[in-house]
Structure 1
Amino acid sequence: MIVEVSRGQNIIRILSDSFLSCLIVKQALVVNWPDCRGSVGEYYAISNFASEDRYKLTNKLDSVLINGNEDQILESITSFLDLFSNGKYEIFFNELNLKKCSFHHENQVIYSESVPEIEKFSNGFYPFPFENEDYFFTILKKDLNLERIEYYIDLIEKGIRPKIIVFESYNINTGYYSSSYILDGHHKLSAYLKLGINIPAVWIRNAENEEDNTEEILKYIKPILKDFEYDHIIKNNK
């Protein structure tokens, strides 16, 4: 299904260029970029944007993502897209196969004791698995509610299949899609992972008009990065 947004509020966006990718929900939530050591992997930083503020943007979707049929979900997602920037969006359903997916969360790089704290990257480093599809959590582990995860585990064990939302964007300059971000459904996703069950998802894909936005990205990501991380991006993003 293709939906054209003409009165978008520009609250939810993905900005990307040929070097890095960034999810915006009012402010930068996640940014990931290459380590520049022969394409071994990528660095990954995530903000502490309050989960309750984000929940206000998605709470109207919760019920329909749990109990709604596909038509009801598509109707709700169409309204939800008013929070996005103008353009054409592809919406479709798919299942994340756990055997083919890697899910990235905070995972601190292991450093030797000689490396000072100020020189340690914020959240993590992940090696390229090449054969897997990569998906990024966009809230911190500390903001996950264990009772909420157990709630979804109970629903899933009863046969209900609540859906998560994945968001990605096409960059017309690079010819590639951005990283794939978990926009909503972190507790559901955590429940599925604990149970070892494939994850039903709704994709929102900006299929049309994202171009390189390097200057804008740098403005958004600076507050969530350490100075040396920001300098690493400036030095290598040429």
Structure 2
Amino acid sequence: MIINVADGKAIIDLINDKYTTCLKIKRPVAVSYGLPDPSVGCYYDAAGFEPFMAEQVNEVMINGDDATILENMQEFLQLFPSGSYRVDIVRPEQEQQIPWYCWAPGASYGGPIWIFTQREASLDQERIKYYETMIRNGGRPKVMVFTQGEVRPEYGDLKNVYEDSTCDIYFVIDGHHKAMAYSNCGVPPAYVCICKEAPVEIAVEDKEALFYAYDYLLNDTLRDKLIRWQPLVLTKDDPIARYYNQRMDEMLRVDTNFCRWHSEYYRNIFRKKNPAELHWLTARLNAIRENTLRKGFNPVGPDPYVNGQWISVTDEVRRANNKKFRKWIKQLFGITWEEMVKAYGDPSINYFTDTTNQ
């Protein structure tokens, strides 16, 4: 059934930038990243929030027939932004696969993926047992989930590095106790699925604002994965940007693949000729330069790995890699490293002397 919402309150919403899907209930409370890890389908995290469903709505989800549920959904969807929503009532006999029930933070190895938006420790075990008894006796209380359908991440400048992938993400917005009861009983869940029709994709310039909104959810592991697979240019002088750039520099100083994979990404930043972004880029490139001096890594060629061992990082190796780094800069941007530093560097930073811990 399609339900059209006019003058919606936009308290509950899904925001997507083709890579990150963020559930907002007044503020971001859960986020999913379609990261191209070879062994993991989806990373996610959630802050947890207090249940907001009125008791009469919950009663409808337990005992109501389809007509009553859909009638109540008309009112409930006023909490969402204006637009069209497809509401489906899905029964266990229609489902061939039990979803991954995902407590945040963590990762999932397949789909469909149900991301819980309340912390497991906050759930009432007696209430879960109550629903288990109901399910074993043939009852099918309904969970409520919110989705925008199949998500196919787009990796922009990294599209030649990462394979395309899809992920079916469902955020549990009500019915965590019921979902746990279904899981404990090994029964596919009955649920009401709200699907956002034609979700609005945020503009590129708004990705930074979205990141700032959900940054409080991130631990260092998730932040580092986002830096690796969907890097942002954060040019503000604030704690979030400084810490993000610090983590990125630490990765650039030690990670060979990170340097090579992002070449086109760096080139596109340079082409935009935004002064603040060019200043930011020069600082990141200097971290790559330190990479070549500290470890003997080569940002443009094969790793210096011979017979199962890293080659010794001698002065000769450093000099050779420094030449390769400068050649890489010239090929990538059409100017020398000296020209780049002069035009876009920070006078307080030494871009030429080896300051690494040899």
- Cα shift readout 1:67-111 (whole Å, capped 9, x = no counterpart): 11100000111100010111100111113577523323237xxxx
| Counterpart position of 2:24 | 24
In structure 2, do the counterparts of structure 1 residues 228 and 135 end up closer, same or farther at CA, with 3 Å as the change threshold?
A: closer
Q: TM-score, normalised by structure 1?
A: 0.78
In structure 2, do the counterparts of structure 1 residues 168 and 64 end up closer, same or farther at CA, with 3 Å as the change threshold?
A: same
Q: Runs in 1 of length 4+ with deviation above 4 angstroms?
A: 96-99, 170-178
Matched letter for residue 13 of structure 1? D
| Counterpart position of 2:143 | 164
How many residues in Structure 1 have an aligned counterpart in Structure 2? Answer: 216
Q: Which moved more, 1:63-72 or 1:12-21?
A: 12-21
- Cα shift readout 1:144-170 (whole Å, capped 9, x = no counterpart): 110110111222233322111111125
Q: Which has the higher strand share?
A: 1
- Cα shift readout 1:193-236 (whole Å, capped 9, x = no counterpart): 21222211111111124213623421321122135633542553
Q: Matches of residues 162-201 of structure 1 in structure 2 within 5 Å?
A: 162-169=141-148, 179-201=169-191
In structure 2, do the counterparts of structure 1 residues 178 and 224 end up closer, same or farther at CA, with 3 Å as the change threshold?
A: same
Contact 1:41–1:126 (Cα < 8 Å) also in 2: yes
Structure with bigger RCO (C-alpha 8 Å, 6+ apart): 1
Matched letter for residue 137 of structure 2? K
Aligned match for 2:216, one of 195, 202, 223: 223
Instruction: Provide the rounded CA distance (Å) in 2 between the counterparts of 1:170 and 1:35.
Output: 17
Q: Which has the higher helix share?
A: 2
Query: How far apart are residue 11 of structure 1 and its match?
Result: 0.8
Contact 2:132–2:185 (Cα < 8 Å) also in 1: yes
In structure 2, do the counterparts of structure 1 residues 208 and 125 end up closer, same or farther at CA, with 3 Å as the change threshold?
A: closer
Instruction: Provide the rounded CA distance (Å) in 1 between the counterparts of 2:56 and 2:71.
Output: 12
Provide the secondary structure at the position in 1 that maps to 2:7: coil
Which of 1 and 2 has greater Rg?
Answer: 2
Q: TM-score, normalised by structure 2?
A: 0.54
Matched letter for residue 214 of structure 2? I
In structure 2, do the counterparts of structure 1 residues 177 and 155 end up closer, same or farther at CA, with 3 Å as the change threshold?
A: same
In structure 2, do the counterparts of structure 1 residues 66 and 18 end up closer, same or farther at CA, with 3 Å as the change threshold?
A: same
In structure 2, do the counterparts of structure 1 residues 154 and 166 end up closer, same or farther at CA, with 3 Å as the change threshold?
A: same
- Cα shift readout 1:7-28 (whole Å, capped 9, x = no counterpart): 1111111111221111111222
Provide the secondary structure at the position in 2 that maps to 1:181: strand
In structure 2, do the counterparts of structure 1 residues 33 and 39 end up closer, same or farther at CA, with 3 Å as the change threshold?
A: farther
Q: CA RMSD in A?
A: 2.8
